Amino acid sequence: MQGPILVFDSGIGGLSVLSEIRRTLPARDYCYLFDNARLPYGELQEEDLVSGCVALVTEAARQIKASLVVIACNTASTLVLPALRAEMTIPVVGVVPAIKPAAQFSQSGIIGLIATPGTVRRSYTHDLVAKFASHCQVHMFGSSELVVMAEAKMAGQPVNMPLLDDILRPVREAHVDVLVLGCTHFPLLAEEFTEVLGDGVTLLDSGKAIASRVAHLLEGQGEHDSLSPNSMKAWYTTPSISNGLSANLQAYGFGEVCRFDPNS
């Protein structure tokens, strides 16, 4: 039997990636670790982000004997992958904003990237644009408010549409035909984004690409025994979570939802 796949994010955003991985590898065991005590990551100092993620992810992977780690967070992936890979012997997969497919897909050559303020600032992101979209006009938008809105939605609260309309106004005014969702929280608001931006804006994220990368890396390992149910565990880092979030995580398929204990 192969160890579980550890999927990591600051909050519930990584579920947009986990959903794609589960679609590809439905019978594997999964552990979803989210560092909601330090959310939003887009506002953290770089050194704190790196040291905190490395400590958490290496310990969680050790405890569950993970076979592979997915950093399902663009903000963390722009910084922590080298440090994490130096500490771990299992594969570590990161998320990259879908700039390359967006540049290939766009008809108008005007594309947008909406991500956290951290991701929009990083040279990692600017290098991606220079490498794959230098022939396009690329507009970048940073927002942590959208991260909080996606969290609220997952906790069962209605999405504040007038506020969303306000946040997305600069995107509308830039007349992009493709918008890269460069934060894993944002696909969870995709319906609402389309309601505000209209069908003329294609939304792109990296979930499917990550899922095929994971499947490729685990090829030949064999799946879980399909006669027994696969295990789905969700670990958070705050002392507790709301009843709404807990209920939605259970509805998503997590049989176990509890606080991560780094000393266990």
Positions marked active-site: 73, 183
- Is 39 near ligand DGL (CB under 6 A)? yes
Listed ranges 24-32, 46-54, 69-77, 169-177: which one lies at the site for ligand DGL (CB under 6 A): 69-77
- Is 99 near ligand DGL (CB under 6 A)? no
- Of residues 191 and 225, the one with the C-beta less far from ligand DGL: 191
Listed ranges 70-78, 103-111, 135-143, 221-229: which one lies at the site for ligand DGL (CB under 6 A): 70-78
- Is 73 near ligand DGL (CB under 6 A)? yes
Interface with ligand DGL (CB under 6 A), residue from 7, 10, 67, 140: 10
Contact 81, 92 (CB under 8 A): yes
- Is 125 near ligand DGL (CB under 6 A)? no
Binding interface with ligand DGL (CB under 6 A): 9-11, 13, 39-42, 73-75, 116, 119, 144, 147, 183-185
